Chain A
Amino acid sequence: MKSREAIFANIRKSLRVSSDDRLRHETVTARIQKHPRGIIPARGQKPDRERLELFRQMVESAKASIAILETKDDVPTAVAAYLRSKNLPQSIRHGDDARLSLIPWAKERALEVTKGASDGAQLASVSYSFGAVAESGTLVMVSGADNPTTLNFLPDHHLVVVDERDIAGDYESVWDRIRLSFGANKMPRAVNWITGPSRSGDIEQTHLLGAHGPRSLHVLVVRNS
């Protein structure tokens, strides 16, 4: 604790402030409580149809692939088709998310579906995204049993379902939804923004896909959920 006190004392000495300045406390409390938005780029501020189109473009420019489906019932066929196109076994793993459990996986008879977190042995996982951001083609995942964080990182192929109505123009709108779901200043243990598949530029600044996380990312947008 000695260092803690020393650091705070030194900060206040350098700033020439005291710890009981009411105005400073009020300023800080107000900013945290009101969490004002900064500048939001016009790019993402589009009506529904155009926002989906922007999201599609941004996802693809981040080197992920995307399929736009009419209903949730189309998900199994789209997943099976993806696995075939990558020469992968017909096998996926997903978490406890009720929205995933309601998907009629049995439509694809060859598709093996297991549930739970990843231990690194799975080649493909399916997650349901909390939200998404059109501005940069970003998926917003939240941790928990519904969509375990390891499914985002350990399998070679990550497939993510997102409802069209959850695709926001900007990050700020998703923060507001997180506040509604988890509480004013609360967060799930992990919030993962994911923009494209894992990559590295560390070998002579050439961008190569498939560093430590998934080698490919496939996004499935459900229009009517």
Chain B
Amino acid sequence: MTQPVNSPQFKENARKALDDAYLQKALARSEKGFIERRKAAVEKLPEYDALRDNARDLKDHILAHLDLYLEAYERNVIATGGHVHWAATAEEANEIIFGICQRLNAKAVAKGKSMISEETGLNSYLEARGIRPIETDLGEYIIQLRGETPSHLIAPALHVTKEQIEADFRRAHTELPPERNLDEPTSLLAEARAMLRDKFLNVEVGITGANFLIAETGSSVIVTNEGNGDLTQTLAKAHIVISSIEKVVPTREDAVTFLRLLARTASGTDLSVYTTFSTGARRDGDPDGPLEYHVVLLDNGRSNMLGGKFQEMLRCIRCGACMNHCPVFHAVGGHAYGWVYPGPMGAVLTPSLVGVEQGGQLPNASTFCGRCEEVCPVRIPLPKLMRNWREREFERHLQPAFARYGLGIWAAFAKRPALYRRATSLAMKFLRLFGGKGRLRALPLASGWTRHRDFPSPQGETFQSLWKKRSGPR
């Protein structure tokens, strides 16, 4: 694992995030937009839910035949003159890419957005060996200037405000006149465009990710709104695709099923601006395009997830909808999760890929409200999978003693219904004594809760006593 893992510090990270005024401002702004845009796009497509069922079944079919679809994909990449490299680990993927760059004497590489390259820590690997990676997606470019990692799958700079971007640009683009006006977001965009244009035209190697790999044709597919991925791969001498093994789909028609879901769910548009299908290198007579085409396929623990309790997570198409709808993500942002993948999908995937010892905190960061599962385009039962991790964490005694004792005490009551009922109604009366009809601002032993929000004072009776009254004695 090359990208350092900071997930065991989730609680500490979350605390810092809640106190970060810039971050809270950025998060508050993003929440509404994503949710409303997705809703509007979905409402315009009556077939949306049927497509989700199809996509779920199709992914299950692919995963059950993953070895064979990968073999077919590899055959077809080779048939079109491309090269396929297999990487069992992150380190190996980095070595392969470095090897290609070295052979081509690359001093700098342009990069389209790729979460797999974040997973392998490719940028720092190349930098340490004298090759300069240049991120070209605007959001990735911004966070690269800031020395940060993405905080969201499709909006990597979600946590950054306009004022911060302006300050970063002034610090980084020292060749431009300092008195220039950057008040408007359009001037920031224009400046990034101008700075990067020259880079696109002068790098030897372009690296992109892949949203899908098509077995039928040996094509890789990328989806962008900016066109940066296309300039990255079209203008360089070599195009390197870095992807993971579960991205393969059988046919072009199957890719379409996922594409109809991806942009709608991710950003609320029918389709992203650019959907590009790349098959091999420049052909005879082609006036442009890369001279070499390489695909690096990363496993990094995914093959272990097949056939087990977490296989459903491999259906993920990285749209980001689960985090866009997650109350925990909205409160703490993506960096608190401490590794590459944030939000509910990260809470399930991180322990799968880095181990429950390091990622086991994350599945606990959920209220189990279920919104993530409701919006997932491939219907991943995220709360169920998080529960699986919690059980595993409990079985392996990985929780802090405090949590284990707490659960033990709760279990002692829960197993004795009469005692449980008496205790809860007593606790309710006690809480109401202090909170009245309003909200409690502080609670003994629960400052972790009340520090950032009030605790509602219980109103009326317990659920069980209400239920009993409603349905009469049994």
User: A residues touching B (Cβ–Cβ < 8 Å)?
Assistant: 1, 3-4, 6-8, 10-12, 14-17, 19, 24-25, 27-28, 31-32, 35-39, 41-43, 58, 62, 95, 116-120, 135-138, 143-145, 148-150, 152-154, 171-172, 175, 178, 185-206, 208, 210-214
Contact = CB atoms under 8 A, between A and B. Distances in A.
A197 B288 CA distance: 21
Contact of B289 (A16, A27, A118, A149): A149
8 contacts: A14-B305, A19-B67, A32-B72, A39-B54, A95-B287, A185-B76, A192-B230, A203-B188
A143 to B, nearest CB: 6
B227 A213 contact: yes
Shortest 7 CB-CB contacts between residues of A and residues of B: A213-B227, A211-B226, A202-B139, A14-B306, A38-B257, A4-B86, A35-B251
Interface of B: 26, 29-30, 33-34, 45-47, 50-51, 54, 58, 61, 64-72, 76, 80, 86-88, 92, 136-139, 142, 155-158, 161-162, 165, 185-186, 188-190, 193, 196-197, 200-201, 215-217, 219, 225-228, 230-231, 234-235, 245, 250-254, 256-257, 259-260, 267, 269-283, 285-289, 297, 299, 303-308
Contacts of B162: 203-204
Nearest to A184: B216
Contacts of A136: 270-271
Given A212-B193, A212-B197, 7 more contacts: A17-B67, A35-B253, A39-B54, A41-B45, A198-B274, A202-B156, A212-B231
B216 A35 contact: yes
B235 A193 contact: no
Given A39-B50, A153-B230, A185 B138 contact: no
A153 B80 CA distance: 24
A189 B282 contact: yes
Contacts of A198: 225-227, 273-274
Contact of A205 (B30, B217, B287): B30
B273 A197 contact: yes
B303 A10 contact: yes
Contact of A202 (B138, B250, B307): B138
Given A14-B303, A38-B257, A203 B165 contact: yes
A206 B286 CA distance: 37
A38 B253 contact: yes
A2 to B, nearest CB: 8
Contact of A193 (B200, B216, B275): B275
A32 B62 CA distance: 12
B350 to A, nearest CB: 19
A197 B224 CA distance: 11
B182 to A, nearest CB: 11
Given A7-B303, A28-B68, A28-B72, A202 B193 contact: no
A195 B272 contact: yes
Contacts of A24: 65, 68
Contact of A31 (B92, B193, B250, B287): B250
Nearest to A194: B274
Given A39-B47, A189-B281, A204 B88 contact: no
A201 B155 contact: yes
Contact of A208 (B58, B76, B185): B185
A205 to B, nearest CB: 5
Contact of A150 (B165, B216, B288): B288
A215 to B, nearest CB: 9
B271 A195 contact: yes
Contacts of B29: 204-205
A88 to B, nearest CB: 17
Contacts of A186: 217
A71 B33 CA distance: 43
Nearest to B257: A38
Contacts of A206: 185
B390 to A, nearest CB: 23
Nearest to B32: A205
Given A28-B72, A41-B45, A189-B279, A202 B142 contact: yes
A32 B250 contact: yes
B288 A148 contact: yes
A1 to B, nearest CB: 8
Contacts of B269: 62
Given A7-B245, A192-B276, A205 B86 contact: no
Contact of B226 (A4, A95, A188, A200): A200
Contacts of A200: 138-139, 189, 225-226
B252 A175 contact: yes
Nearest to B68: A28
A193 B256 CA distance: 12
A168 to B, nearest CB: 12
A6 B304 CA distance: 12
Contacts of B158: 205
Contact of A211 (B228, B254, B267): B228
B145 to A, nearest CB: 12
A189 B289 contact: yes
B276 A191 contact: yes
A190 B276 contact: yes
B304 A14 contact: yes
A11 B274 contact: no
A6 B189 contact: no
